[in-house]
Amino acid sequence: MIDCGKHLILGIRISAVDYECATGIIVKAARERRPLSVAALAVHGVMIGLDDHTYRRRLNSFDLVVPDGQPLRWALNLLHGAGLTHRVYGPTLMLRVCEVAAREGVGIYLYGSRPTVLSRLVERLPSAVPGLRIAGYRSPPFRPSTPEEDAEDVRDILKSGARIVFVGLGCPRQEQWVYAHRDRLMMPLVCVGAAFDFHAGVLRQAPTWMQDRGLEWLFRLWMEPRRLWRRYTRHIPIFILLVARQYLTGHPWRGTAMGTATRLKGA
């Protein structure tokens, strides 16, 4: 039985949820018109949290942090006996929430990505989810928004009548945006990472057999080697080492990923 509670993985509180539980929590908050902060987190986000105390503190204040990556699902099962049979993959969670939103007539808002990607997503998503109402969408500048631009974004979201906002700004920017806006927008704000690119058809997803075996990182590294090689060659070995340490000692790591990497290099 899934407990839907939170458990520490290297200092980050990860929710032991499946798709049904996570979707139910998000849609319930949308029906009740109350704020809910949600992040689909992979190893990359956990490792950022190890090095950045502010980001870790903000992330741990989220209502729902789902195990987007297979390694997080495995860690929850190993360390906390969560009994999860599947991860809660951000792009799939987005589709499942959209399907319920379409059935119930709940409008969604899409915030993030590049204008060209967002335009394709707005065109393709209703075909994937018949009956879905996209109440609005916006692609913010890649640089930090000015206070005036930010206020305009908030006004547009509220004026749209949407009751769920999907945020695709990339980690950690999307979690920072949700943290800053969750008390101003009385609705679920759901960070979904690269889901916009996948559903817009501009980025290929790994084959299912690779996803199921925790090899999605290898596929993405093959697709985007220059952007991702540093992330994966550093983060994955350290994550495995620190999860093993937590398993053996019973205590989550209190240091930093950079400190661990330095000690490993000098060993």
pLDDT tens per residue, range 61-119: 999 999 998 999 999 999 999 999 999 999 999 999 999 999 999 999 999 999 999 99
The two most distant CA atoms of the chain are separated, in Å, by 58
pLDDT at 3 exceeding the cut of 70: no
pLDDT at 1 exceeding the cut of 60: no
- For the beta carbon of residue 166, count every other beta carbon within 10 angstroms: 29
CB 9 within 8 A of CB 243: yes
Q: Which of 113, 184, 192 is nearest to 150 (CA)?
A: 184
Q: What is the pLDDT of residue 255?
A: 66
Kindly list the domain boundaries of the chain, sorted by start residue: 6-200
The residues that bridge with 39 in the sheet, in sequence order, are 65, 191
Q: What are 179's two structure tokens?
A: 């943290």
C-alpha angle with apex 237: 4 to 217, nearest 5 degrees?
Answer: 70
Q: Tell me the whole-structure pTM to 2 decimals.
A: 0.88
Architecture in CATH of 6-200: 3-Layer(aba) Sandwich (3.40)
> For 191-246, what is each residue's pLDDT tens digit?
998 899 999 998 777 778 777 777 776 767 667 777 766 666 678 889 999 999 99
Question: Rounded CA gap, 35 and 182, in Å?
Answer: 6
Q: Which of 99, 103, 137, 102 is nearest to 120 (CA)?
A: 137
**Binning pLDDT at 50, 70 and 90, where does residue 146 land?**
very high
